[in-house]
Amino acid sequence: MAGTGVGIGQVSLVALAIALIHCSRDHSVVVSALGFSVIGFAVTDALISRCGPSFIKIGLFGKDMSKIGKPVLPEAIGAVSAMVYIMIMFFYIPFIFYRYMVLDTVGGGDRNTSVEMNGWSKSSFPHNKLSEYLSSVLCLESTIVLGIFDDLFDLRWRHKFPLPAIAAIPLLLVYYVDFGVTYVLVPNFAKDLFQGKTLVDLGVGYYGYMAAMAIFCPNSINILAGVNGLEVGQSIVLASLSLINDLLYLTMGNESSRDSHLFSAVLIIPFLGVSSALYKWNRWPAKVFVGDTYCYFAGMVFAVVGILGHFSKTMLMLFIPQILNFIYSCPQLFNIVTCPRHRLPKFNEKDGLLYTSRVNLKENPPKRVFVPVLRILHFCKLIDLETDQDGTLVSCSNMTLINLVLVWFGPMREDKLCQLILKLQFAIGLLSLFGRHAVGAILFGHDNLWTIS
Amino acid sequence: MAGTGVGIGQVSLVALAIALIHCSRDHSVVVSALGFSVIGFAVTDALISRCGPSFIKIGLFGKDMSKIGKPVLPEAIGAVSAMVYIMIMFFYIPFIFYRYMVLDTVGGGDRNTSVEMNGWSKSSFPHNKLSEYLSSVLCLESTIVLGIFDDLFDLRWRHKFPLPAIAAIPLLLVYYVDFGVTYVLVPNFAKDLFQGKTLVDLGVGYYGYMAAMAIFCPNSINILAGVNGLEVGQSIVLASLSLINDLLYLTMGNESSRDSHLFSAVLIIPFLGVSSALYKWNRWPAKVFVGDTYCYFAGMVFAVVGILGHFSKTMLMLFIPQILNFIYSCPQLFNIVTCPRHRLPKFNEKDGLLYTSRVNLKENPPKRVFVPVLRILHFCKLIDLETDQDGTLVSCSNMTLINLVLVWFGPMREDKLCQLILKLQFAIGLLSLFGRHAVGAILFGHDNLWTIS
């Protein structure tokens, strides 16, 4: 197995990566990002092929419930891709700042000249950009450690809930120092509510909002999970959508927005590399499970990019399926309708298809006040509610996006289900981006990509 | 057990910490470092009291071989202190930069003013200091992840050996950008060898030296281990010595050296807090083991401080016992003399004392050419060599500093042994510091603490 791991394919991938990195000396950081992305893919792929047995040996494994025979697979393998990403980002730093390090650095002097060095001019090294970059990687690595602890110890919700916000402290601090923008735009139609103001200052509330985003993004990926390839798949879709948005700005945007979206592309492109390698192993039929580490890490990549790239609201639009999944899950999360330990779709060994999993409402009736809501949801085809002849509730489908898709489209094989959800996510994301730039421009009177006269 | 964890003691500790942090608003970052150190102690102490069973549950445990009945203790608990340190350092950032954030930040403007903001003046936020700080914490956190992987998977030497150097990349990059000093001073007596130069430029070699230091420091603490309290104890001694050196500069040094040593104190003081809490649990009779994570983390703290504080050579002088231990271990590390799996001192259940552990040289004779060396070492009382009547080698003491101390001072109880080694380390460290500032000044014609006229 180890022998087959490093084949001609991998060697040529690495060669391509080195070529891309070399090219980038004269060109753009995006080209070297592509190179590091390819290296990330190759290294992650090679490591995953070797790591599985070690993970199983120390007890990190799980059963794949949606397969015949419930095979045992290594769990938390996403930690490998996440750490490869961090290492890649370390090697990437000199390439990002190559221009400044070779042309502009004032260094190389004696200790005594350092006082003079500290009085850098505007043309010298962009320490603020380096701080942004370092704080991002630091935030991601802290999230990874949180994920590893969660994978190992199965932390309780109340313990792990605030931790991503702590991990985001360096990020928020850099935001405060470098940008400090806490204004939001008011849509034209709502201006009267704010005495005709176009901007409303949220002040400290804006930092609360960003901390909430750092908590939401990692967890939202973690709860839209349980089907082979879905965690990594949705992350890849989100990354691609985010990259499309970046490319729009990089090709058509103004100078200041270009900077933010270059930063975003620099973080997202290598992320796509390591995630694709993980997807290769996690897609149906899965050979490994990704674990909480990857979900937290992936979610935090988007939070970081959204916050320091100044498009946190656009980023949240890409998370609409995750937000809907969260809202849809709320009745069960808050125990208004009983919530079983697992809400995964049910696997039928006979036809190999996944069916909606159901809650028994006879044994565990929902809160009385919620019964009409359930009937309305059923009427709107948002759940599948089973009643007996006299109208008593018997069971309903579990309230997750995955089960809802099965309610809508009927039972299907696991890979088809995953593909369908990913396509939905991609379509909604594209629509959101269109809405953001087309409808947004109408609502706000202008858009930072173009201005309507 | 959980109930006793948060007592009046801990509440008053945290109250003291908050008071110290509050005072620091008007005073120095050192005062707030003390506050965060106290918080670090309280949090680490409380967490360790709760974490033990969870660690044992997932297989992170070990037997204490030097106790009657070989009790099972949780292993790798040092990961808790290390992560508390990282979180503490996150909360600490705003306090370090408080002055600049409140008085000097240009932020708070509209996105459109950001171009102007980027043209900061010298009086504005010290992004270079922030980069130094962030790269240090990033390097430490990467080292912690390496340690966690090693504790979990027992990584092979050839795999884990280069990893600390990768973790140090952000650090070396910041060094390159901010200082770029690759000169070393030539002692007066050696000036003739370098055509009378007082400075020699090591160029890229200096970065190799720093990377080597990042590899050496973590590993050197990891191999002077195996006695209750020794790993944490030596780290506390090293931190105290380093802090004494910092205080010398902070009170008597010039402006530029004061900056470096303030940076060092800022990192070391909270480290002392979390380490003291760990020591409380790991000292004889140990209730927890610290694991590789803590050893790597602690070693890297010193490497980081030495590199970015510009006193890596002074720092290495404090590591003389570790360096000697490494050199002394070499014959066994490189298998010239056979090296058993463990070289811990042998515990005698009858008298409760530790004795030197020995290698059987009859079954595993050493390389022939090394036999005279062994005899000379024995003659110099640097090993204990046993021979039979006709002079054939029977056994010798294992070549570690711990066994050597037992050869010199005879069998003793584990806590006495640990205390003795820590006292030796402290004494050698104090002498080194004295040598550095007194003899060093004579050798080099001047010292950066004072100048000999």
Domain map (residue ranges) of chain B: 8-109+124-318+416-444, 340-411
Q: How far is A240 from chain B (nearest CA, A)?
A: 26
The alpha-carbon radius of gyration of chain A (Å, integer) is 24
Looking at the partner chain, which of A59, A83, A110 has a beta carbon nearest the beta carbon of B145?
A83
- Is A58's CB within 8 Å of B153's CB? yes
Per-chain mean pLDDT for chain A: 88
- For chain A, percent of residues with pLDDT exceeding 90: 64
- Is B181's CB within 8 Å of A111's CB? yes
pLDDT value for A184: 81
**Which chain B residues are closer than 8 Å to A138 by Cβ?**
134, 137-138, 141
Q: Quick one: closest CA in A to B142, which residue?
A: A141
pLDDT in tens, B98-133: 777 765 444 443 333 333 333 333 347 888 899 999
Q: Looking at B311-447, which runs of residues are DSSP E strands?
A: 346-348, 353-355, 358-360, 385-387, 393-397
Question: Using the 8-state DSSP alphabet, how is residue A360 labeled?
Answer: E
- Asked if residue B62 lies in contact with residue B294, where contact means CB atoms within 8 angstroms, the answer is no
Query: How far apart are the C-alpha atoms of A275 and B219, rounded to whole Å?
Result: 32
pLDDT in tens, A300-323: 999 999 999 889 999 999 999 999
Looking at the partner chain, which of A117, A122, A131 has a beta carbon nearest the beta carbon of B130?
A131
Q: Quick one: closest CA in A to B255, which residue?
A: A115
Question: Using the 8-state DSSP alphabet, how is residue A204 labeled?
Answer: H
Query: How far apart are the C-alpha atoms of B43 and B39, rounded to whole Å?
Result: 6
Q: Give Cβ neighbours of residue B204 (< 8 Å, ≥ 6 apart).
A: B182
B7 or A364, higher pLDDT: A364
Q: What are phi and psi of B181, to 5 degrees?
A: -80, 115
Looking at the partner chain, which of B115, B148, B167 has a beta carbon nearest the beta carbon of A148?
B148
ipTM exceeds 0.95, yes or no: no
Q: How far is B368 from chain A (nearest CA, A)?
A: 39
- Is A180's CB within 8 Å of B127's CB? no
Separate counts of helices (H) and strands (E) for chain A: 20, 9
The dihedral of CA B33, B39, B40, B42: what is its sign? Answer: positive
pLDDT in tens, A32-80: 899 999 999 999 999 999 999 999 999 999 999 999 999 999 999 999 9
Query: How far apart are the C-alpha atoms of A175 and A132, rounded to whole Å?
Result: 8
Measured between its terminal Cα atoms, the distance across chain A in Å is: 62
Judged against a pLDDT cut of 50, whether residue A4 lies above it is answered with no
Q: Are strands B353-355 and B199-201 parallel, antiparallel or unpaired?
A: unpaired
pLDDT value for A12: 84
Q: Quick one: closest CA in A to B163, which residue?
A: A87
Q: Is the peptide bond before B71 cis (omega within 30 degrees of 0)?
A: no
- Asked if residue A175 lies in contact with residue A210, where contact means CB atoms within 8 angstroms, the answer is yes
**Which chain A residues are closer than 8 Å to B122 by Cβ?**
118-119
**Which chain B residues are closer than 8 Å to A59 by Cβ?**
58-59
3-state secondary structure of B386: strand
Q: Give Cβ neighbours of residue A447 (< 8 Å, ≥ 6 apart).
A: A436, A437, A440, A441
Judged against a pLDDT cut of 60, whether residue B278 lies above it is answered with yes
pLDDT value for B268: 97
B52 or B111, higher pLDDT: B52
How many beta-carbon pairs below 8 A join chains A and B? 166
H runs (alpha helix) in B201-254? 204-223, 230-252
Per-chain mean pLDDT for chain B: 88
- Is A86's CB within 8 Å of B131's CB? no
The amino acid at residue A279 is Y
- Is B109's CB within 8 Å of A166's CB? no
Cα–Cα distance list, B144 to A356, B295, B322 (Å): 42, 9, 21
pLDDT value for B440: 74
Q: How far is A229 from chain B (nearest CA, A)?
A: 25
- Asked if residue A33 lies in contact with residue A269, where contact means CB atoms within 8 angstroms, the answer is yes
Cα–Cα distance list, B160 to A366, B146, B169, B324, B373 (Å): 54, 8, 16, 22, 32
Judged against a pLDDT cut of 90, whether residue A446 lies above it is answered with no
pLDDT value for B1: 39
- Is A138's CB within 8 Å of B137's CB? yes
Q: Which among B88, B90, B133, B137 is the top mutation candidate for probing chain A, defined by the most A β-carbons within 10 Å of its own β-carbon?
A: B90
**Beta-carbon-side half-sphere exposure of residue A244 (alpha carbons within 13 Å):** 18
B180 or B205, higher pLDDT: B205
Looking at the partner chain, which of A90, A97, A181 has a beta carbon nearest the beta carbon of B110?
A181
Query: How far apart are the C-alpha atoms of B259 and B309, rounded to whole Å?
Result: 8
Helix pair angle (B127-153, B255-282), 10° resolution? 30
- Asked if residue B169 lies in contact with residue A93, where contact means CB atoms within 8 angstroms, the answer is yes
Looking at the partner chain, which of A117, A141, A179 has a beta carbon nearest the beta carbon of B114?
A179
B254 or A58, higher pLDDT: A58
**Which chain A residues are closer than 8 Å to B198 by Cβ?**
none
3-state secondary structure of A385: strand
> Which of A337-341, A405-409, A434-438, B97-101 is most confident?
A405-409
A448 or B239, higher pLDDT: B239
Average pLDDT (A185-201) is: 80
**Which chain A residues are closer than 8 Å to B91 by Cβ?**
166, 169
Average pLDDT (B138-166) is: 92
Task: Tell me the whole-structure pTM to 2 decimals.
Answer: 0.91
Cα–Cα distance list, B250 to B20, B80, B253, B264 (Å): 19, 31, 6, 11
- Is A310's CB within 8 Å of B111's CB? yes
Average pLDDT (B259-283) is: 96
Query: How far apart are the C-alpha atoms of B80 and B60, rounded to whole Å?
Result: 13
Instruction: Quickly state the pLDDT bin for A192 (edges 50, 70, 90).
Output: confident
Looking at the partner chain, which of A117, A131, A141 has a beta carbon nearest the beta carbon of B127?
A131
- Is A180's CB within 8 Å of B118's CB? no
- Is A181's CB within 8 Å of B122's CB? no
pLDDT value for A310: 87
Judged against a pLDDT cut of 50, whether residue A120 lies above it is answered with no
